[in-house]
Amino acid sequence: MSAPCLSVAVAACLLVGAAACTGDGGRAAPSGPPLVAGLPRVEVVGPPATGAGEVPLFSWKPVDAVALYDLVVVGPDAPIWAWRGTSTEIRLGGLPVERPPGLGGPVIAAGSCWSVVALDAAGHVIAASGVLPVSPGEAGGTCQGAAASSAGASAGR
């Protein structure tokens, strides 16, 4: 059974309003709490919760019967970036290679978090990762953006 349609914008709202999540604090790809209870998981390959750099490469294993993936990245204070596509690997900002020095674009900060959902051809969610922490340096591992924003989301902002 598939879940109702979930757009990138709705996924961003879920991330911003989600409860805080914790990572493993190590260099392995984290595994957070389920985004939608009872839904199959998207198995995340990377980036690690800490030491991911400012422009991490997000990657996950393919999901059977997927038509599109929605990826959302949220910083400590606001959404950073969202993407929709068929690839199972995408760098923050969408460039196919590492961003050249001096070229502007989105970057993550300590306390950022992300999630990816798999959609079938009808646009229904068929799998989702957890809400996962990602930080550029060795410090981090907690989705501060989700925790800091949950009060505002529940207050109707």
Does the structural domain 3-95+106-154 have CATH classification 2.60.40.10?
Answer: yes
**Which helix (H) or strand (E) segment is 13 a member of?**
helix 8-17
pLDDT tens readout for residues 32-77: 666 667 899 999 999 999 999 999 999 999 999 999 999 999 999 9
For range 96-122, the mean pLDDT: 91
In the chain, domain spans:
3-95+106-154
Q: Is pLDDT at 155 greater than 60 in this prediction?
A: no
Query: pLDDT band at 85, cuts 50/70/90?
Result: very high
pLDDT category, 106, cuts 50, 70, 90?
A: very high
